[in-house]
Structure 1
Amino acid sequence: MTARNTLALTVAGLLLMAGPALAQPTEIRIGVALEPPTLDPTAGAAEAIDVVVYQNVFEGLVRIDQTGAVQPGLAKSWTISEDGLTYRFALNEGVTFHDGTAFDAEDVKFSFDRLLAEDSVNAQKALYAPISAVTVIDPMTVEFTLSRPDGLFLFNLGRGDAVIVAPESAANNGAEPIGTGPFAFIQWDRGSRVVLEQYGPYWGEAPALTRASFVFISDTATLTNALLAGDVDGTNNFAAEALAVFENNPQFKVLVGSTEGETILSTNNRKEPFTDLKVRQAMAHALDRQEIIEGATYGYGVPIGTHFAPHHPYYLDLTDTYPHDVEAAKTLLAEAGYTDGFSATLKLPPVAYARLSGQIIASQFAEVGIELELINMEWAQWLEDVFANKDFDLTIISHVEPFDIGIYANPDYYFGYDNAQVQALNETLNATTDEADRLALAQEIQTIIARDAVNGYLFELAQTGVWNAKLDGMWQNAPVEGVVLRDIYWVE
């Protein structure tokens, strides 16, 4: 045996000992706190829906990127008339739904006719009210006619509420969603997980991931253990109180960013004693935001004094409108006829920020004579009782919809605020495209709702993601709801 042969055998033996090269993983398992009530983003208000399907299963004419900018989606380009009333979209060709049916302009018209129909259950239907007609020009061209200019029209087209669905499958999208996105729905194990797989004939650039599972884990301790054990690869929004477990662990990366989630002590403005401005002002004075932020978000929240995201250029800092002042709160309650205070219920959805905030607020309100009964609710019950049936006194919730100050112009919205001036200002804002004018209008609305203490404005919810250190491409900030899979990949 020659020295060369000996060397070759030695190298071969070492390679066998080392085993075959390990392939890069292409699957991801994401832990999420809430299970969606449906998988159709056009038929529900829950953020949990978009977390799973937005830009993954379903797509819109345009999409919102992680900076909040509008990018082409199913429409590759568009033109806008000089008067701002006509938008013509050129659609991408070769697009199919996950059942193999072709996408064209008729699907766009169907989707928006369905959204605007009298029996529509779309949670954000009011945002699309300016649409007066959707016209099919040819199979790859569709035109929208607006009744008035809408400065947020393109952005709103990129929301989960405006994704394109097919007439053949729309009725079943709640349980078996069929879209045009890079991932197709595979299965929904109720109470456990939703599984998606890369859609081979996808019209756009194929994502790096081939399979994604959204695993429902509502308990923080259980999710912590799942992350540490490698049973899940990450979560987009982890409980702030447990972040310390991962912050100095090289096996994980912690991404802290901002969201569009205005966290409020939502108040039933239709119901006594909350119909009285002095009562609402007293509650505003009783709130100690910093104590709530430290206790409920472990310092990660940003205080707000109105319903607007602090990172937005239109934001106006109104946190000093009703500073924490126990004596002022007591005086206002006495002037309202509640010298001895009153009792109320505080209904809390099953998210940590709400339940922790509720305990702190109950203690703060007790100082001024307001006794709160805390009622913990599951998500489906909260959506039915509070959001749909308006059966509540107070609740705590993060409103994660972007630029959603328009909800204060809807007297039928669940917290029941009815102010003609705000309604008129919002109508003007919606019809205004000049940025300087839009800024002034948005800030005037912010000032009015802060002064009226419509709700207790607490903090902007942070996004605190925890991920396997070998993952990259996750969104740090959340300008819209969702965990967008197209950008995520494993690194060596």
Structure 2
Amino acid sequence: MNVTKPLALAATALLLATGAAWAQSSEVRIGVALEPPALDPTAGAAEAIDVVVYQNIFEGLTRIDQNGAVQPGLAESWEIAEDGLTYTFSLHEGITFHDGTGFDAEDVKFTFDRILAEDSVNAQKALYEPIAAVNVVDPQTVEFQLSRPDGLFLFNLGRGDAVIVAPESADNNASEPIGTGPFAFVQWDRGSRVILERYEPYWGEAPALTKATYLFISDTATLTNALLAGDVDGTNNFAPEALAVFENNPQFKVLVGSTEGETILGTNNAKEPFSDLRVRQAMAHALNRQEIIDGATYGYGVPIGSHFAPHHPYYLDLTGTYPYDPDAAKALLAEAGYPDGFSATLKLPPVAYARLSGQIIASQFAQVGIKLELISMEWAQWLEDVLGNKDFDLTIVAHVEPFDIGIYADPNYYFGYDNPDVQALNETLNATIDEGERQRIAQEVQTIIAEDAVNGYLFELAQTGVWNAKLDGMWQNAPIEGVVLRDIHWVE
């Protein structure tokens, strides 16, 4: 597929015809790397679906903002029972779906009954299993009864997997999506683009944009040419190795933020010598995080010291827990019985950040006596050997699920960390609703796993957007999948 080649060939004519006026218009053209396989986020796992539809076509009872915080969505407010088992949502009035049908509590019940049905294909169905019942109180009020308290319930309601759909149109949402959002689906030219237009009867504040076109451009060089020619107004995540073309160009703005991708040196804690805390501490001291970021992400990764996204309100900066100190690393290795170091394998999945990081870390570890054999793998093999069979010493991978610190409470997870204190804290966190208390517990867990050096905490994958300098309102961070259009607008 080469979508933009004909666009690039016509660039000069297009600019002469529309270029000067475009910046004054209320339309935007966004280049994205992947075409979605379908357009229903409740029936598919592909991130590319949410990039187009999340908070644009479809909305949930809550929504996630660009810092990862929960905000009201189709529900204007909610009440939580003292035992944390009953949530009562008050819905906004006057909302319609894009086909003109009305939205009310029956649509909410239909949506979650569909998610939890035995034949459900929802990719995150397990997140909603605490829901025991959804009861319609009246057209504007819906009650959720949970089987157990769930501290992430409101966040999970704001995911793309939980957007509200209507029984009249749900079966066709894969190809003709109909939601309640500020933009309505117009057309999908497969292999090329999806076009959205502002939904004029939208219940909330009207967006500035009247039209948005998502162009599917997988090749970096082609996207670069399309941006420079003015055929595309921006992209949410551009290849960092090619950003230099735009950084000093006044016609563009480069927005560098963070994603939910915690990139770690995954460590088999259940296997010697990594079961020894001193060995893990030594490896942590041997990591020059900035050198890895410079070499593997062209300087755009955000350093992390624990397994948590830096943009999140609960984030605690623990990058100083084990500062780069090769001498301290050697001393800890000697204390652990490895004065001459040891040999290990480093299994690398087929992504650039992992392969590049692996080469740099091998060099850094060699300086303290740890000799790494780099083993490159395809994803299927990595999933089987590392994630499934735990047949590895070390690996490098980015964990991209939002708020996934709970994996450290699972002793059967691939890195084999078994800490009863973390398991108890995670259980409490999952059952805690109070935001202040949730933050305190999450930060305590972050601190414990940092001090235990469970994994080597490297960097958060960056979101590197390139946009026309006259555009504003784009998300700098990506706490959840999506290119949210509601605040994007042209400025003089």
Common fold, TM-score beyond 0.5?
Answer: yes
Match among 346, 349, 353 for residue 347 of structure 1: 349
Following the alignment from structure 2 to structure 1, what is the Cα–Cα distance between the partners of residues 391 and 50?
26
Please report how far the alpha carbon of residue 32 of structure 1 lies from its aligned counterpart in structure 2 after TM superposition: 2.3
What do the CA deviations read for 1:266-303 (whole angstroms, capped 9, x no partner)?
A: 45668898777677556545432111111123333332
Alpha-carbon shift at residue 432 of structure 1 (Å) = 2.2
Match of 2:138 in 1: 138
Give the partner amino acid of 1:299. Answer: G
Q: 1:134 and 1:69 mapped to 2: Cα distance?
A: 24
**Residue segments in structure 1 that go unaligned for 5+ positions in a row:** 1-18
2:70 is aligned to 70
Residue 336 of structure 1, CA deviation: 8.4
1:479/1:362 Cα in 2 relative to 1: closer, same or farther (>3 Å)? same
The aligned counterpart of 1:425 is 425
**Residue 33 of structure 1 aligns with which residue?**
33
Q: What is the CA–CA distance in structure 2 between the aligned matches of 1:177 and 1:389, rounded to whole Å?
A: 36
Structure 2 unmatched ranges of 5 or more: 1-17
**Equivalent AA in structure 1 for residue 232 of structure 2:** V
**Other-structure match for 1:86:** 86
Mapped partners of 2:44, 2:414: distance in 1: 14
The letter of the residue matching 1:369 is: K
Q: CA deviation at 1:323?
A: 4.3
C-alpha deviations, 1:57-77, integer Å up to 9, x for none? Answer: 211012223354433321233
After TM superposition, give the deviation of residue 235 of structure 1 in Å: 1.2
Matched, 1:179 2:179: yes
**TM-aligned CA deviation for residue 431 of structure 1:** 1.8
The Cα of 1:186 is off from its aligned counterpart by 4.1
CA contact (8 A) 1:40 1:174 kept: yes
The alpha-carbon distance between structure 1 residues 468 and 386, as it changes in their structure 2 partners (threshold 3 A), is: farther
Deviations along 1:234-260, one digit per CA (max 9) or x if unpaired, are: 012223333332232221122233444
CA distance in 1, matches of 2:185, 2:278: 51
Q: Which moved more, 1:166-175 or 1:218-227?
A: 166-175
Contact 2:64 2:159 in 1 (8 A): yes
- Please identify, of 78-87 and 466-475, the stretch whose mean Cα deviation from structure 2 is larger: 78-87
Residue of structure 1 equivalent to 2:488: 488
Give the Cα–Cα distance (whole angstroms) in 2 for the partners of residues 383 and 102 of structure 1: 47
Amino acid across the alignment from 2:160: G
Q: Which amino acid aligns with 2:360?
A: I
CA contact (8 A) 1:282 1:333 kept: no
Amino acid at match of 2:349: K
Tell me the equivalent position of 2:333: 331
Structure 1 residue 307: Cα displacement = 0.6
Secondary structure (helix, strand or coil) at the match of 2:63 reads strand
Written as runs of structure 1 = structure 2, the 5 A alignment for 1:322-471 is: 322-324=322-324, 328=329, 331=333, 335=337, 341-349=343-351, 352-365=352-365, 368-375=370-377, 393=392, 396-410=396-410, 417=417, 419-471=419-471
Partner of 1:16: none
From the superposition, tell whether residues 188 and 458 of structure 1 become closer, same or farther in structure 2 (CA, over 3 Å).
farther
Partner residue in 2 for 1:7: none
Shift of 1:28: 1.7
- Stretch of structure 1 that moved more, 210-219 or 223-232: 210-219
CA distance in 1, matches of 2:389, 2:44: 16
Q: Shift of residue 382 of structure 1?
A: 9.1
Q: Distance in 2 between matches of 1:311 and 1:228?
A: 30
Q: 1:326 to 1:30 in 2, by over 3 A?
A: same
Per mean C-alpha deviation after superposition, the further-off stretch among 300-309 and 146-155 is 146-155
What is the letter of the counterpart of residue 245 of structure 2?
V
Distance 2:174 2:282 in 1: 43
Shift of 1:309: 2.5
3-state SS of the aligned residue for 1:348?
Answer: coil
Equivalent pair of 2:262/2:460 in contact (CA under 8 Å): yes
Report the alpha carbon displacement of residue 428 of structure 1 after superposing the two structures with TM: 0.4
**Percentage of pairs with the same residue:** 77
The superposition leaves residues 341-385 of structure 1 with CA deviations (integer Å, 9 ceiling, x where unpaired) of 133421133xx54453344335445662111122365xxx69976
Question: Match for 1:261: what amino acid?
Answer: G
Aligned-pair CA distance for 1:471: 1.5
Deviations 1:36-84 (A, max 9, x none): 4553333455543322221012110122233544333212332333444
Report the CA distance shift for 1:218/1:269 in structure 2 as closer, same or farther (over 3 A). Answer: farther
8 A Cα contact 1:281 1:332, kept in partner: no
8 Å CA contact 2:194, 2:215 repeated in 1? yes
State which drifts further: 301-310 or 386-395.
386-395
Q: Relative to structure 1, is the Cα distance of residues 68 and 142 closer, same or farther in structure 2, using a 3 angstrom cutoff?
A: same
CA–CA distance in structure 2, aligned partners of residues 135 and 242 of structure 1: 52
Distance 1:154 1:236 in 2: 26
CA distance in 1, matches of 2:188, 2:335: 50
The residue type paired with residue 97 of structure 2 is F
Corresponding pairs, count:
468
Match of 2:319 in 1: 319
Distance 1:383 1:205 in 2: 46
Indicate if the aligned counterparts of 1:345 and 1:392 stay in contact, CA closer than 8 A: no
**Alpha-carbon contact 1:279-1:333 (below 8 Å) kept:** no
Residues 287-306 of structure 1 aligned to structure 2 (within 5 Å)? 287-306=287-306
Report the equivalent of 1:14.
none
Give the CA deviation at 1:320: 4.4
For the aligned residue pairs, the C-alpha RMSD in angstroms reads 3.8
The alpha carbon displacement at 1:174 in A equals: 4.4
Instruction: State the distance in 2 between where 1:469 and 1:70 align.
Output: 29
Give SS of 1:467's match: strand
Amino acid at match of 1:375: M
CA distance change for structure 1 residues 333 and 240 in 2, over 3 Å: closer, same or farther? farther
